[in-house]
Amino acid sequence: MQKDQYYWNVIALFAFAVLCALSVAVLSRYAASDLDEFDFLDLALLGLGTFRLVHLITYDKIFAIVRDPFMDAKGGRLRKASGGWRRLVCEFLACIWCTGMWSALLAVTVYLLGPWGRFTVTVLAVAGLGSLLQVISKSIARANE
């Protein structure tokens, strides 16, 4: 890894810590429900919703309009930017683990803010469950060929 990228990774870590603090501050003031009230259904909805959000950000064509400006065009193909903050964003958008942390923070924060947040996460969760069922059915079909 280039030394320049260490700098940008530290910036990203700091930004994540600031967003966590902002999330806690917003939730302490505006949360419609409390983490103590979480049950398995809440956790399942958040897990599936985060799964779908990660897939949306990292893979789906509809989100390419956000990913592509951070890429470099070389030989007619898009590649990760060579360095700097654009490289950091490329790596973030391509890494399911990185995207998962930021997506989970967003999903939990939105979910706890009230009915519209719960609705949003529930829609993502239903889409995530549909995606998982599709993957499972394709795997079963391949195994039976």
Is 26 in contact with 109 (CB distance < 8 Å)? yes
pLDDT digits over 33-51, tens only?
888 888 999 999 999 999 9
Question: What is the tally of structural domains in the chain?
Answer: 1
**pLDDT band at 106; cut points 50, 70, 90:** very high
- Asked if the structure places residue 70 within a domain, the reply is no
State the pTM of this model: 0.85
Q: Is the pLDDT of residue 3 over 80?
A: no
**How high is the pLDDT of residue 104?**
97
**How high is the pLDDT of residue 76?**
57
- Asked if the structure places residue 22 within a domain, the reply is yes
**How high is the pLDDT of residue 77?**
62
- Asked if the structure places residue 56 within a domain, the reply is yes
